[in-house]
Structure 1
Amino acid sequence: MMLDDIAEKTSNMAFDRRTVERFQDIEKLNESEKEHVFALLDAFLAKSKMQAILK
């Protein structure tokens, strides 16, 4: 998924400058590096959601 796709789907959301800069930095990575970043992000988000359910 490209950041353009994310931007289109989240056009009503506002991101702070730091978040936008991180998205821009991720966009500069090669595809393999992006996959690693997204895998880590997915794992963290899944853990966070699971913890919220268990509370």
Structure 2
Amino acid sequence: VDLPTIGPATVRGAARAGLAGLVGEAGRTLVLDREGLVALADELGLFVLGVEAP
């Protein structure tokens, strides 16, 4: 199984690209360094959201 993966590097890339945040499917997205990712997203003003698939 190849899960989508996000981490602090993803947050930095999203900020550089001018995105407002990141959205992934809840329970099906691998999150690396969750605490670091959340802290960095907060610092950079980005949201991170997990949503249920319809």
Structure with more of its chain in strand, by fraction? 2
Q: TM-score under structure 1 normalisation? A: 0.32
Structure with more of its chain in helix, by fraction? 1
